[in-house]
Structure 1
């Protein structure tokens, strides 16, 4: 053993003679080869002890379990290791021993060669204490996928370039300092304390975690005082802040940082953004904030991006703010910095740098609106006869959870003047709009502005409009603190130029928004009992509204219209919800952290974000709402819905509209709250609806079960004369006996529709008879070849059991077979089991408890709950004498034993299991001729199983082996 013990040296003195005297095969030029010796570096807490292997070939090689130990050498060190014992190495570090190579707190290893690259590796990994790398390039390697570690409460200073070979993780126990990037790329990184390294703004794709494990020294590990984690100014993928010891952690940032994946702030942790944190959004993915639990918190200004695809012309988006700017409210002052927004009282000149007011345009009409159906008529005359109200100023207080309608012109940096004033208005480019403020966190009970004239203002030069007036409106939303928002969604009369008041299909809509910087699951959001479960989202590609029934996916399948809506609402996305009852006190919506989707949704994951990207041609195409592709929204039918038919009217891959028809025995032919009124979108080019019996246009139509010659009128329209195609995108549980035809009354034609059969026709805008609600009609016609049919039904004896078999035709996957049994000559039948069809055409059922004598069986067949028929009875003669002797199987047995009795039971039987010494180990009472017993509790061995009837008469016995 080499002991370097309390030898007082000056700062520049080195202990080399002792190494030469006591260690074999050592020279200054070759470094140190350790064949198993323990090197103890023992200080007194005030003096420094150094081992210096300086020179490019001065390597450290640990051959067979050698250990370097630091004792009594202090704990905290400076960044350069100058106040504690250190090993300075100019060559390579190779650990070929099956141990950690170093032990003892405070021992610093310094790699400082400035001219030759150094390698730190070997056949075993080394967990360093304090580590300093400077000078030339360094490579950390491992023989297989292993972590590179600087131990708990120890520091890593990096001021040289670094690469990694076979390193699976990087674990830094305390502070990461120096001036060079960690260069971790996709390798996961854990830092126990602060990031003080001056390198910044580089991108890391692996998970980065600050866990606070290095904030308390070994002598103070139970401290409960709040401590600080300094977060590095990097471009992160997934960033995690956690408290490894369960104490409060405050995490400021040391500069601007971005997150492209998931930001996780754990219990006891507070991220202090200070305006430095930006959550990124691209065409492929949008950053999200994981559910905050316990005392987790994010304070300060956060910049939240929401990617919006261009290339489809100027169009609308339903948006929502994931931040607030004052308690319970947000404004659009930050939004205008990333996209142009017009409105009243604009700035005088167009400037790429947003001002304190709206951008000017030719008319100064609003390009951002709230939806308020019962308030005065809207200020913007472009969205005619609507209930969208312009926002009066950039700083108006808008309640958190309230959605907005935005007219998208693209970014502020490209052709801004032309975007605002023409004369040619360019197509918007892809753009990420930004909301800046404090992140919405915790439970959020949505509040909406009161329907009150005092929340609106008149803006010159317009005049006040009354219902039915053709005078342009002058009303804009202007927050009035005397009329605080209400906790219940509103339902009021509709006002417009027609003077219409009250419409059961179009009243009650409220524009709501996802309040979180995360995708949410609508099925988990709390809706008041007076809110309709239908949720409306806007598809900017085809400019149509799309519909999803909240809870339908959770209950087993999806009820939607096929235009893109599903259970997920992306960050920054708005949507419509309807209130069923005016003045209801049960019409609230509450969002909670648990509504967040736990994984980041991207264009390549399922489920995917409901935002906006590209589409493909053809039916069943994926559509998108603001950032990444979605599924078609079509699934099997939800609980209570037996059949569905999804239709799509399409001009081309961009211009299409879809509807959903659902059939159930409890459905209503007239409009009710379970139906979805067609909202017609925002300036779409094609329209498709179905009619209820009381002539209301619907996108979601829930009707009674299909019957022969059932008719459903369709509404079709288009903005220009063009060829159209009507097709079925999905059918579920439509009985094969029904064929679906479209009747064209205009052309006096009819065509059978199918999943691969479409109807092509032309809309002629010059001829009103070619559009509207009197041209197309669906008819369900009976196809005798498709009707359900029972082909045969038989029964046969199989030992103690009777096996029933039957074959069918056109049973599909929704026919229920109920097996019935009679022991009184077919006078009365009792249900003994059910089988659901699977479209295979052949089914079987076993009656394991056959009765002695003549037994009758019949099959009850239920097709879609509304068609029931019975088979002819099948008679099976069963005699107990025909059954083999008493036996037990399987034998040997492991977890169960089954008994076959030689006579039919009338009443209960007692079964006993007895070991070879005559002790009854297990006893039970059964009512079956072929009971199955659990024998897991038996120890391995040989047993006798015996049975007696209710009169204690012996039925039989048998031996079996328990393995």
Structure 2
């Protein structure tokens, strides 16, 4: 009878506890580490025999671990899915506790709190296992103050650390991660205080925080620390729009995301991405190990340095409303561990656009998939010993953009590199302004090697331009007709009686221009060239631009049609390091031939503007080397650079000595642009080095829309040491041509090589030149400054009308 009453009483007690409000359970661990063993729990100091937190379907139980002391070796471990209301980790168990969850989910509908220690010494709680722990908010540190420092000469301020180490497979917070720090009352005699500080170490697994990260530092001496410090790997997922907006401006906050194996994933909608720039409560910002982007919306990366020592993964849709906005920061891939590669995934869709991007450190950098772009205003910089695999041997994952504002650039590559640091294919765009006419073009990439030279393909033009040639469709042109593409051969005197017998030699077939050994057949010319030829890097070519291929054949074959803009994309391995110009018809020689016309069509070989101000005649290993002109033997390369203006269709001449340019000729040659030089004698060399690139901050001009150089290049300062007169003959604002009359007391009235620039006729509607005293037509005519002299001018207009002659300078 007594036994029946006792059982009934126990039943009523259980029924009452399960039916009326929350029950508080304290872990004792008396018999084992099993959560589901009732004897390991107590209620109000009474050991349990039937229930444990979450048993019987209860979801309102309050769990306390370490609030009262328990058997040290028996930390709780759970292997059964349960739901409870809250967990409080106390401070009364000697400073070390753990909770292990294996293979299941423990759901906490409320909060998890780790108490501070009210005595001297810190607290460490480890949360581990292959399961999932979910809760609302997680608070490291309650309001418990540390003890006041003792009186006396030995009184010292004490800093206790309350630490959570989380390595559980999945920790999920539907609200905030809160760091709460406290201080003691001041010592009456010394005014010293002690501190309880808060630390959350993510040592493994995935921690997902829907809310933000908040710190409430009680005193300037308090500190709160969030550290990803994996034993292998660990991921912190941030979903809040401004995950670090809750940091206290008092005390010290430490955020460490850049340890090996640490990943931060921005996986919310429309988020702020933090950089090394300081924000409220975080001086010096933070850097990253691995960084990932997922979710939706625009991930706006703050200004400053986005430092990434590990992997970069863009998992967004990358469309108009979902992308990573990197226009403000400098992105630095700076992993320094040579044994660990940095894998970069630019993502699908529109991919990832970089603006200022730097590669440094010994970790090899590899774009493994997706699409990366360097913006038209952007610069990519390599710092030794960093290397970058930008694509495969057939596909480029990195594209250098070009548009009407500028073109992306590869900064000068340091001479410290023994081999080119960027490997794999790269896509390099070249924006062409609208206007039907000829362009001098070059390639910043190569396809393979032949005769010891890097050689490039012309076939990429077919993807964007309407190409014709005598080989017709069998020669892989859009259709037959006069050539669209020409190489330049200075070795014979041209007849100029057709498209096929000038110094510009038409390409008759591009059918062999694919693969790693592209070659081209040419139309017969006065030099008797036959067979197939490859084109060495650094060689320019002439292309007749009709407009964008998408405009349709009816428009593109109409001579009166005004062409629209187009962007061509060359794909291959970037030209890097020193490039020695070699004539395509004599590729075995490092010297420029000089048998007839003396002109050589050279092309900027780099994915960057080059600076003609870097031309020097002293050493072949810096800047741009040109064999010095010897006025005694009349051998060497003259100071004049010829650039074709596609708006007026006339040649401009840039004087490298004085900085004077006619018809828009500029000191800066754009990426993908060709130009002409004059070389006399048989021992001339023209050699490009990386230091010849136009560096960041250099100014240049894109006055006539030639090909548009870098967007940050402004109008050059032309410094003239001698008086000049600049004359312009114009039919209108487009059809015009300039000449320069320069005056030097030591000059002669006759044509003098390297003192005067002979006129090179273009295809313009207007022709204009001056005559030397020996009747050579000049673009730049230098003469002695006399009181009175007569200068004969040559003028030409293709159509009748009113022409004006103006003195522009």
Question: In which range does the TM-score fall when normalised by the shorter chain?
Answer: 0.5 to 0.7
Contact 2:739 2:768 (8 Å CA) reproduced: yes
Q: State the 1:391 CA deviation.
A: 1.4
CA contact (8 A) 2:372 2:399 kept: yes
Structure 1: any 5+ residue segments left out of the alignment? 74-80, 217-223, 349-355, 451-482, 494-506, 553-557, 601-605, 611-621, 731-963
Number of positions where the alignment pairs a residue of Structure 1 with one of Structure 2: 613
Q: Does 1:252 align with 2:363?
A: no
Q: Give the CA deviation at 1:594.
A: 1.2
Match of 1:541 among 639, 647, 659: 647
Q: What is the RMSD computed on CA atoms of the aligned residues?
A: 4.0
Once the two structures are superposed, the pairs formed by residues 313-462 of structure 1 within 5 Å of their partners are 314-327=436-449, 328-347=454-473, 357-361=476-480, 364-375=481-492, 381-382=498-499, 386-394=502-510, 395=513, 396=519, 397-420=534-557, 422=558, 426-450=561-585
Provide Cα deviations, 1:239-287, integer angstroms capped at 9, x if missing partner.
535343xx35142332222111112233223222222111110000201
CA contact (8 A) 1:152 1:172 kept: no
Q: Does 1:305 align with 2:429?
A: yes
- The Cα shift of 1:39 comes to 6.3
Deviation at 1:677, TM superposition (A): 3.7
Change (3 A) 1:249 1:200: farther
Q: Distance in 2 between matches of 1:675 and 1:227?
A: 55
- Of 686, 689, 695, 1:592 maps to 689
Residue segments in structure 2 that go unaligned for 5+ positions in a row? 1-65, 96-107, 146-158, 182-194, 218-222, 229-233, 278-284, 514-518, 520-533, 615-623, 629-635
Give 1:539 deviation, angstroms.
1.1
| 1:828 alignment counterpart | none
* Correspondence for 1:283: 404
Select 1:106's aligned residue among 198, 203, 206.
203
Q: For residues 133-179 of structure 1, what are the alpha-carbon distances to aligned partners after superposition, in whole Å with 9 as ceiling and x for unaligned?
A: 266756432678x9975232222134322522986647453222463
**Among residues 674, 685, 702, which one is paired with 1:574 in the alignment?**
674
Q: Is the 8 A contact 1:276 1:301 kept in 2?
A: yes
Would you say the 8 A contact 2:354–2:372 is kept in 1?
no
Give yes or no for contact 2:138–2:177 (8 Å, CA) kept in 1: no
**CA apart distance, 1:598:** 2.1
Q: Give distance in 2, aligned partners of 1:167 and 1:325.
A: 38
Instruction: Return closer, same or farther for 1:588/1:404 CA change in 2, 3 Å cut-off.
Output: same
Shift in alpha-carbon separation, 1:163–1:248, aligned structure 2, 3 A: closer
Deviation at 1:40, TM superposition (A): 3.6
Match of residue 613, structure 2, among 523, 530, 535: 523
Shift of 1:432: 0.7
Is the contact between residue 267 and residue 294 of structure 2 (CA under 8 Å) also seen in structure 1?
A: yes
Give the one of 245, 260, 264 matched to 1:156: 264
Shift of 1:678: 4.3
1:672 matched to 2:775 = no
Distance 1:647 1:342, change over 3 A: same
Structure 2 partner of 1:512 = 602
Q: Structure 1 residues 35 and 70 mapped into 2: Cα distance closer, same or farther (>3 Å)? A: closer
Establish whether residue 713 from structure 1 lines up as the match of residue 802 from structure 2: no
Shift of 1:52: 6.2
Give the aligned partner of residue 295 of structure 2: 180
Distance 1:39 1:53 in 2: 25
Q: Distance in 2 between matches of 1:375 and 1:263?
A: 42
Q: Shift of the alpha carbon at 1:534?
A: 0.7
Q: CA contact under 8 A between 2:209 and 2:239: conserved in structure 1?
A: yes
The offset of 1:305, in angstroms, is: 0.5
In 2: Cα distance, 1:99 partner to 1:266 partner? 44
What is aligned with 2:343?
229
Q: Is the 8 A contact 2:604 2:674 kept in 1?
A: yes
Question: How far 1:372 moved relative to its partner?
Answer: 0.8
1:772-811 equivalent positions in 2, closer than 5 A? none
Take 1:329 and 1:373, find their aligned partners in 2: how far apart are those partners?
20
Q: 1:10 aligns with which of 62, 72, 78?
A: 78
Instruction: Tell me the SS of whatever aligns to 2:271.
Output: strand
Deviations 1:192-247 (A, max 9, x none): 1112453364353234535353x75xxxxxxx546343343333233535343xx3
Q: How far is 1:544 from its partner?
A: 1.6
Give 1:489 shift. 1.5
Deviates more, 1:681-690 or 1:402-411: 681-690
Report 1:54-133 matches (<5 A).
54-55=135-136, 67-69=161-163, 82-83=168-169, 88-94=172-178, 101-102=198-199, 106=203, 110-113=207-210, 118=212, 127-129=226-228, 130-133=234-237
| Partner residue in 2 for 1:457 | none
Distance in 2 of aligned mates of 1:689 and 1:40: 88
2:806 is paired with a residue whose SS is strand
Q: Deviations over 1:840-895 (max 9, x none)?
A: xxxxxxxxxxxxxxxxxxxxxxxxxxxxxxxxxxxxxxxxxxxxxxxxxxxxxxxx
